[in-house]
Amino acid sequence: MANFPALKMTAAGRVLQAKAQTGQLLKFTRVGLGDGTLVGSLDALGALVSEKQSLSIRKQVAPGDGTSILNVIATNQGVTQGFYMREVGAYAEDPDTGEEILYSYTNAGAECDFLPAAGGAVVWEGLFDLITIVGNAENVTAVINDFITIALKSEVDELRPYVLPHGGTVGQMVRKASNAEGDYELFDADLDGLDVRFKSVEEPRVAVASQRTFTLQKTVTNGLAVYVAGRRISRDAWTPLSATQLKMNDPLDAGTAVLFVNNEEAGPGESLSVSIEGPTLVYPGSTNTFTLGAYDSFSTYTQSATSGTLTRSGKTLTLVIPSGAVAGTLDLQVTRDNVSVTRRIAVGSAAIEAPQIVSPAANAVGVGFEPDIILSPFKVYPDGYEAQVKTRWQVAFDAAFTQLIYDNESTINLEAINLGAVGVRLDAARQIYTRAKTSTATLDSAWSTTVSFNTASVYIRRPVINNPIDGQLEVGLAGTLTADAFSVYGGTDTHAGSRWQYSLSADFSTVMIDSGWVADSLISYTPTDLMPRKTLLYGRVKFKGAKLGETEWSVVVKFTTTDRLKGIYTALTNGATERLWNSMAGYNGLVYIFGGSNSSGYLSDLWQYNPANSSWLQLASAPAAVAYGAMTVLGGKLYVFGGSYDGNNTTNNVFCYDIALNKWTALAITGTLPGKRYSACLAAIGSKLYMFGGQSLSPSAVYADLWSLDLVTLKWSSLAGDSVARAGATCGVIGGELYVARGSGGGTSNRLSKYNPSTNTWTALPSFPFTNSSAQAGAVVGNQLYTWGGYSAGSYIRDLSVYDPSEGKWTALPAGGYGRSNTAACGLNDKLYMFGGTAGNGGTTQFYSVQ
């Protein structure tokens, strides 16, 4: 057969493998053989590039190491036209749709073999194993072709002891009558005075995490005894699936020893056994671990390997393969007392897949003078063997690369290079040739296939999308794309049109939105309809000039749109003591709850809640008790401003809590200070804190002022205030701007406004259109501002509303939770958390998350 690298899963295969981890059936259906050449990533493959033959699966074995071995027969019977066996793929059935998908794939490239057509002088048959990853899937099977008649001699020899000759009676046995082949006789053991004993057949295995299904290699389910961790389990604890496959009722922990035994009842005729469990494929320069089955510390063991170094520590064997080892096979041999076992394993050849130039396209015309040269993703076999450290780039005037324009090894430009950035500007109207090769610390790939292209005499520069940036999260649902300015190399032209596209796939095989050529959205484009929420999207653009025609598509940018909470409320485990008028913040996957007041008085305690395991932890207390304090988080530190410490007095102190050190500090602020107050807003933008509004006790006043605190100089600066004074408002930062919603001051307010730090200006936004209430809670989650609860018309409410800047409007969401006011809230990991508050009967420990 050809020299195939290890099989790798496709994107669809990884999805199917994930389903198998949940217990769904992973059923392999067939194997495809073809002569196609893989260009680019195999992730998106749904079938072989060029399938020539469909092969039946003869046998499937799951050795328990996270792989499945498919035994396949290939023959030239029925082949009318010979072909190079270059690509192999394993197909499996999706248990949800019943459709066949390409699960894993490999391509031999240049190291392929030719399969001749049938009817000639050569009759070709091949029996080979395909090893593919299945992880800890419990239920793995294959469609076996029962009509395949090819059998190995070793398999026929295995059957001989189990095949009874014709004739005889029950209880008789068979023995050789003479040395002649096939000469046997039947006899009665009792009459001949023989003491017949049978050897027990043992098959030791080690379970992977959550494993339930086992495919037996030495034993059969008929008359089987099963031992788990040294104890024999009841026959009711497992179910036979076939003669050689069973399923445990309960999943096993990783590393659990399992022993399968046949003929256990046969008595004292048992003998020593030994087995070697571990990987079936190793690579040069690797260290590999194997386990001895049925290990007995009182036995004497010896071990050897035909290649590499094999050592033993207890039941663990360690095989070290030298980096210079050649591809092939090696034998491991272990002897326990006087019993030996040999296991043959494959040695793969570590190699880098030759890269492919994906841009410019082969034979492209009108290419710019300073183009990007882009390679397919780096691949090394085995996966993770070594990291890429450099790429050698060559650009020349001739296909032999004797007239070099650029020849350089780069440790920075590994998968793409811009010729302009390295000081190369190509001549106009010339044919250009380019190629590349990649390297690790010890390996070099072959050169890529040479790509030639022709430069333009005059061309429009390829556009670049600069907003959103590639990989950006929480992008507004408007989905606006913005590109850089139109420009021309080597001449002049006018920008006549732009074409914008959005897709759910990186290769734009399925285009979701195509603007067509538009003249009124040349640099920026906003689709008519909103984007879907919480969705990974891809965008690109191309320009068109009045004279020079179209550019290439821009480099694709990917971005994920923001989501909206659904209004699903979950009551969480209570931990902190009851309170109202408290503060909250979310940081690094954790929720922090501080201060407030309860029947015991004003509080200085700080609590941490971990949503991952619903655990609570009380942290260091603040230097002073604070209720109605404003809290935010910046750079791994919590900041608390103002508040009241006794109900009669307010403060303008700023306390800082260092999360890593579990330590509080009172900041020594100098210069002009904001007035003392409670129920203010506090948020972080960049490296500064911004404080808005609040209320003082003496004199009694509500504020509309805005201040910023420089955490380096520890000085406050007075900024432009809003037009409406408010206390107890909800605030948060979206897109670098401060949003302030609702609040109270001489009555409740439904005002929404935002502050732009770069211009020091406020903008009025749509007012809150629903229930007019005071003392509501709220926070920003996913670039949207949420408010919940409050007190209105003598009632404590539990309404939830959201303002989405991308839509420019408020939306009412499902109400829930326990209606109350003076509650604290924070956003964390796409959820809104709310703790404390009152419903007129003191503080509470009510704790909810909303998603």
Give residue limits of the domains in the chain.
8-152, 201-266, 275-347, 351-457, 460-561, 569-695+724-850
As a whole number, mean pLDDT of residues 301-311 equals 93
- CB–CB of 534/561 below 8 Å? yes
d(CA 100, CA 831): 38
The neighbouring-strand residues paired with 592 are 585, 608
Handedness of CA 317, 318, 322, 326 (dihedral sign): positive
φ, ψ for residue 299, nearest 5 deg: -90, 165
Percent of residues, the chain, with pLDDT higher than 70: 92
Measure CA 634 to chain center.
Answer: 28
Q: What pLDDT score was predicted for residue 748?
A: 87
- CB–CB of 7/38 below 8 Å? no
pLDDT tens for each residue of 40-84:
888 889 999 999 988 888 888 888 778 888 888 888 877 888 888
Candidate CATH numbers 3.30.460.90, 2.120.10.80, 3.30.70.270, 2.60.40.1220; the one for domain 569-695+724-850: 2.120.10.80
Q: Which of 377, 390, 385, 327 is nearest to 108 (CA)?
A: 327
Identify the CATH homologous superfamily for domain 460-561: Immunoglobulins (2.60.40.10)
Sequence-separated contacts (24+) of 406-412 with Cβ below 8 Å: 409/439
Q: What is the DSSP letter of 650?
A: B
Two tokens at 580?
A: 């109202």
The total of other beta-carbon atoms located within 10 Å of residue 25's CB is 15
At CA 344, angle to CA 341 and CA 349, rounded to 5? 155
Distances (CA, A) of 331 to 64, 180, 342, 478: 20, 34, 6, 63
- CB–CB of 389/440 below 8 Å? yes
Q: Which of 607, 479, 591, 601 is nearest to 536 (CA)?
A: 479
Two tokens at 496?
A: 């006549």
- CB–CB of 75/145 below 8 Å? no
d(CA 629, CA 398): 73
Residues 457-472 as b/e (b if ≥16 CB within 10 A, e otherwise) read ebbbbbbebeebeeee
Q: Which of 628, 749, 750, 774 is nearest to 695 (CA)?
A: 628
CA atoms within 13 A on the CB side of 463: 30
Q: Binning pLDDT at 50, 70 and 90, where does residue 194 land?
A: low
Measure CA 156 to chain center.
Answer: 46
d(CA 25, CA 586): 41
Q: What pLDDT score was predicted for residue 245?
A: 84
pLDDT at 299 > cutoff 80: no
Q: Which of 71, 78, 76, 46 is nearest to 142 (CA)?
A: 71
Handedness of CA 9, 13, 15, 19 (dihedral sign): negative
pLDDT at 503 > cutoff 50: yes
- CB–CB of 31/46 below 8 Å? no
Longest C-alpha distance within the chain, in Å?
Answer: 120
d(CA 301, CA 332): 13
d(CA 450, CA 462): 23
Percent of residues, the chain, with pLDDT higher than 90: 56
The neighbouring-strand residues paired with 678 are 695
φ, ψ for residue 21, nearest 5 deg: -65, -25
Two tokens at 200?
A: 């027990």
Q: Which of 749, 700, 704, 747 is nearest to 725 (CA)?
A: 704
Residues 727-751 as b/e (b if ≥16 CB within 10 A, e otherwise) read bbbbbbbbeebbbbbbbbbeebbbb
Q: What pLDDT score was predicted for residue 475?
A: 87
> What's the whole-number average pLDDT of the chain?
88
d(CA 434, CA 828): 49
As a whole number, mean pLDDT of residues 819-829 equals 94
Q: What pLDDT score was predicted for residue 408?
A: 96
Question: Taking the C-alpha atoms of 454, 460, 464 and 467 in order, what is their torsion angle to the nearest 10 degrees?
Answer: -160
Identify the helix (H) or strand (E) that includes residue 790: strand 784-792
As a whole number, mean pLDDT of residues 685-692 equals 97
pLDDT at 195 > cutoff 50: no
pLDDT at 221 > cutoff 60: yes
The total of other beta-carbon atoms located within 10 Å of residue 310's CB is 19
d(CA 381, CA 354): 11
pLDDT tens for each residue of 566-600:
999 999 999 999 999 999 999 999 999 999 999 99
Q: Which of 837, 829, 766, 771 is nearest to 803 (CA)?
A: 766
The neighbouring-strand residues paired with 844 are 579
Q: What pLDDT score was predicted for residue 795?
A: 93
Domain 351-457 CATH assignment equals 2.60.40.10:
yes
All residues at 6 or more sequence positions from 191 whose CB lies less than 8 Å from its CB, including other chains: none
Measure CA 361 to chain center.
Answer: 30
As a whole number, mean pLDDT of residues 605-609 equals 98
Distances (CA, A) of 143 to 15, 27, 96, 269: 20, 7, 17, 38
Look at the block and give the residue holding tokens 């050849």: 349
Report for 332-336, 697-701, 729-733: range of highest mean pLDDT: 729-733
Q: What pLDDT score was predicted for residue 147?
A: 44
Candidate CATH numbers 2.60.40.10, 1.10.1660.10, 2.30.30.20, 3.40.1160.10; the one for domain 275-347: 2.60.40.10
All residues at 6 or more sequence positions from 738 whose CB lies less than 8 Å from its CB, including other chains: 683, 685, 690, 692, 706, 731, 732, 754, 755, 757
Q: Which of 513, 516, 568 is nearest to 535 (CA)?
A: 513
Q: Coil, helix or strand for 16?
A: helix
Q: What pLDDT score was predicted for residue 644?
A: 95
Q: Let me know if the fold of 275-347 is the same as that of 351-457.
A: yes
Q: What amino acid occupies position 686? A: G
d(CA 684, CA 686): 6
d(CA 464, CA 542): 9
Measure CA 506 to chain center.
Answer: 16
Q: Binning pLDDT at 50, 70 and 90, where does residue 170 land?
A: low
Residues 52-74 as b/e (b if ≥16 CB within 10 A, e otherwise) read bbebbbbbbbbbbbebbebbbbb
User: Between 218 and 608, where is the model more confident?
Assistant: 608
Q: What pLDDT score was predicted for residue 81?
A: 87
Q: Binning pLDDT at 50, 70 and 90, where does residue 148 land?
A: very low
pLDDT at 101 > cutoff 70: yes
Q: Which of 373, 394, 406, 391 is nearest to 438 (CA)?
A: 391
pTM confidence score: 0.46
Q: Binning pLDDT at 50, 70 and 90, where does residue 269 land?
A: very low
The total of other beta-carbon atoms located within 10 Å of residue 828's CB is 21
Report for 98-107, 449-458, 492-501: range of highest mean pLDDT: 492-501
- In this predicted structure, which of 130-144, 691-705, 747-761 has the lowest mean pLDDT? 130-144
Q: Binning pLDDT at 50, 70 and 90, where does residue 171 land?
A: low
pLDDT tens for each residue of 616-643:
999 999 999 999 999 999 999 999 999 9
Q: What pLDDT score was predicted for residue 591?
A: 98
